[in-house]
A = this chain, B = another copy of it.
């Protein structure tokens, strides 16, 4: 196990195994060949070609979303897609573009549409040491149960902004009051593209840092995190290097935090690879 192993695991995407999903002349997703073949069976919604799949459903966002959702329901019936039924993500060529349709979160990897999340590093200073609040994910989470996580993290649901998602998740996941969240500082984004069992995770995680006061203790209220620990950042980093204890993408968020806060010395043999491995350019 090494820092680079985590980066490679999150960047296992292989262009040769996918075709683009197009809306007009713009790519909105990556489809594994088997997933592309599955969509081609719904020609009123998707037109399959040799080297791409085209969205052909017409209408406004609601109409296209409904058409796609009928396909998703059929795929759920065939156990090709695990539908979540409580959260949809906007699908668009780029962040900030008007959405073309909304997609059940469980179906996002199948379509390989880009997903966006917010991760918060909650830290405090203990003399010269930086300490990080680390959560443990509930055993019933669909993704990465029991793994260690940031103090707050969540996907950006349709119609929600980055900061609004931070405020909502900070409240539900960590019991962080809005007045304290206001002190959080945006610090860029971590991005990666990963082949998964279901398809492709093409993810952008907007990262915030928040220095929390010594008398603050996070408290979860949505059941997604079962416990929080305050750990020396150096120990967190060592655990990232040696183990798989953290959720796959949280390793990258912690490496980004560590780099930005000068916690990885330049003579670390992985310094160059970490410095250039956490922000995959968007295609």
Residues of A with Cβ closer than 8 Å to B?
Answer: 11, 94-96, 161-163, 185-189, 191, 204, 206, 259-262, 264-267, 269, 271-282
Write the nearest CB–CB distance from A220 to chain B, whole angstroms.
24
Q: Are B266 and A162 in touch, CB under 8 angstroms?
A: yes
Q: Are A96 and B269 in touch, CB under 8 angstroms?
A: yes
Q: Which residues of B contact A259 (CB under 8 A)?
A: 186-188
Q: Which residues of B contact A280 (CB under 8 A)?
A: 276, 281
Stoichiometry (number of copies): 2
Smallest Cβ-Cβ distance to A189: which chain B residue? B275
Given contacts A95-B272, A204-B272, A272-B95, contact A188 B282 (CB under 8 A): no
**CA of A274 to CA of B189 in the docked complex: distance in angstroms?**
9
Instruction: Provide 27 A-B residue pairs closer than 8 Å at the C-beta atoms, listed in order of the A residue.
Output: A94-B272, A161-B267, A162-B266, A162-B267, A163-B266, A185-B261, A186-B259, A186-B265, A186-B266, A187-B259, A187-B260, A188-B259, A188-B260, A188-B274, A188-B275, A189-B276, A204-B272, A204-B276, A206-B266, A206-B275, A260-B260, A273-B282, A276-B280, A276-B282, A277-B279, A278-B279, A279-B279
Q: Are A277 and B281 in touch, CB under 8 angstroms?
A: yes
**CA of A204 to CA of B271 in the docked complex: distance in angstroms?**
11
